[in-house]
Amino acid sequence: MERTFLMIKPDAVQRNLIGEIISRIEQKGLKIVGGKLMTVPQSLAEEHYSEHKSKPFYNNLIEFITSAPVFAMVVEAEDAVHISRHIIGKTNPSEATPGTIRGDLGLTVGRNIIHGSDSVESAKKEIALWFKPEELSDYTETRETWLYE
């Protein structure tokens, strides 16, 4: 089993899309092992997006992500990183395929609904950055025998 970090961004929280997005994640088969609504401290936002520090959109991105609450989550599945990036869709919602979260719910790259870790390595880093170990639950869902061979 693999875990990844997902974050419903302030635009989607403000648009009351938490339920819609979590519903898609649950229906796909991903197991939610941690989740919380939180206002992101400046330092956490900067650390999370440190790889983009030199980009022209960096300041706006930090301002946006700290502007209102986000809903942070850890989800678990076989191949969780790849599968969740796939159902999230391309970074720019104008290019994201219909049927994906960004393709169905977003319009522009600066308001693209949700974050998902892009590799197993960054998932590990991001989970440790956003969640304390005791905020994550290990448990079995009865549906698992119907999701996996």
Alpha-carbon gap, residue 138 to 11, rounded angstroms? 30
Tokens encoding 28: 């796909």
Nearer to ligand ADP, 6 or 77 (CB): 6
Question: Does residue 120 touch ligand ADP according to CB under 6 A?
Answer: no
Question: Smallest gap, in angstroms, from Cβ of residue 55 to ligand ADP?
Answer: 7
**The residue to which tokens 């719910």 are assigned:** 105
Question: Does residue 148 touch ligand ADP according to CB under 6 A?
Answer: no
Question: Smallest gap, in angstroms, from Cβ of residue 56 to ligand ADP?
Answer: 8
The candidate with the shortest Cα–Cα distance to 81, out of 114, 123, 51, 49, is 123
Alpha-carbon gap, residue 91 to 13, rounded angstroms? 18
Question: Does residue 95 touch ligand ADP according to CB under 6 A?
Answer: no
Question: Smallest gap, in angstroms, from Cβ of residue 84 to ligand ADP?
Answer: 11
User: Is 52 among the residues known to form the active site?
Assistant: no
Alpha-carbon gap, residue 46 to 52, rounded angstroms? 9
Residues taking part in catalysis: 115
